[in-house]
Structure 1
Amino acid sequence: MRGLILSLVLLFPLGLFANELVSTSYWSNTAIGGHDTTAYHQVELDRPSRLAEGSPRFTVKWNGAEWHFASQASADKFSMKPAEYAPSYNGFCANALSLGEGKIRTDGTVWEFFGDKLYLFYAERGRQRWLNGDWQQYKAQADTAWADIIFER
């Protein structure tokens, strides 16, 4: 059964499943600590500048969560292609998933691109594990864990 689930996940982008879980705050329904997820993709900015705070003024509801953006232009960009800009696993810690630890929330401050996809981490230690290890293997493990989570809902 796990092989079938993984095959389905590989055939369809992870963001296509309706009402997937999103990493939100314990106290609100705001995704990834309120950070503007489109800003991470602005490669012309230096790394610290890509960590842009979103504003409740520019909010998009997607997958049952509120995603905040720094501007209306960023919110519109996300609205047009949310699966492209949303982090992998909807912001849950990629490292925790790869280790079989389940859904660990993140706040958007520890991040990295692997391939062309954004991944968030609970702590710098997890990011360093992926940077210095076999991130492709870790991604495969995280993909399997995420598939189990979204298909069990």
Structure 2
Amino acid sequence: MKKAIMILTFLVLGLTTALKAQEKEIFQTEDGAIKGYDVVAYFKENKAVKGNKDFSYDWNGAKWYFSSKENMKAFKASPDKYAPQYGGYCAFGYAQGHASPTEPDVFSVIDGKLYLNYNQKVQQMWTKDIPGFIIKADKNYKVEKEKKKDN
């Protein structure tokens, strides 16, 4: 019962944020893309590291912040290598068919790709079938991108 309520709550939150998500390809807040966290640090340090406003770069309609000049240079050279999957929206949410916000400290790096999740509880569900959820999320994300192109 608790799990069903949690999933229902997650879906409702996802639906309410879906309209906002449709406006922006990258999950961003007033703090920047991915709430101002350094996406390169996930790969280099395997942890969430807050970016520094002195090291910023505009890419794909969002402002990205980095903890060092080196990380900013790495991102500039290859943004697709470091950018999170699904625009930084919740990977589990996309597997369920909707965009949801994420928390920067709830992440996975799998096969050289960064995946973010809504919160710790959602990440626990995500880890139960990561390969299956990636397949579903990839498909749903592709469909969503096609819809945006057609509009």
Give the TM-score normalised by the residue count of structure 2: 0.77
Amino acid at match of 1:73: E
Q: Distance in 2 between matches of 1:76 and 1:141?
A: 33
Q: Greater strand share, 1 or 2?
A: 2
Q: Structure 1 residue 64 and structure 2 residue 61: aligned?
A: yes
Alignment equivalent of 1:129, drawn from 117, 120, 125: 125
Letter matched to residue 21 of structure 1:
E
Alignment partners' CA distance in 1, 2:104 and 2:25: 16
Runs of 4+ in structure 1 displaced over 3 angstroms? none
Question: For residues 16-55 of structure 1, what are the structure 2 equivalents within 5 Å?
Answer: 21-25=25-29, 28=30, 30-42=32-44, 45=45, 47=46, 50-55=47-52
CA distance in 2, matches of 1:36, 1:29: 12
CA positional deviation for 1:115: 2.3
Residue 11 of structure 1 corresponds to: none
Corresponding position of 2:9: none
CA RMSD across the alignment: 1.5
State the match for 1:152 in structure 2: 147
Q: Tell me the CA shift for residue 29 of structure 1.
A: 6.8
Aligned residues: 125
Unaligned 5+ segments in structure 2 are 1-23
- Tell me the SS of whatever aligns to 2:39: coil
Give 1 or 2: higher helix fraction: 2
- 3-state DSSP class of the match of 1:22? coil
SS in 2 for 1:108: strand
SS in 1 for 2:32: coil
Q: 1:119 aligns with which of 106, 115, 123?
A: 115
How many Å separate the matches in 1 of 2:63 and 2:101?
15
What is the CA deviation profile of residues 89-141 of structure 1, one whole-angstrom value per residue up to 9, with x for unaligned ones? Answer: 121000111112x111223121012222110001112211222x221111111
Higher relative contact order (CA 8 A, sep 6+): 1
**Which residue of 2 is the match for residue 80 of structure 1?**
77
Alpha-carbon contact 2:55-2:67 (below 8 Å) kept: yes
Identity of counterpart residues, as a percentage? 30
Whether contact under 8 Å (2:106, 2:118) holds in the other structure is yes
Asked if the contact 1:94/1:121 (under 8 Å) is kept, the reply is yes
Unaligned stretches of 5+ residues in structure 1: 1-19
Q: Spell out, residue by residue over 1:29-64, the C-alpha distance to the aligned partner (whole angstroms, 9 max, x if none).
A: 71001000000001xx4x5xx211101111111110
**What secondary structure is seen at the aligned counterpart in 2 of 1:112?**
strand
Instruction: Output the CA distance in 1 between the equivalents of 2:125 and 2:104.
Output: 17
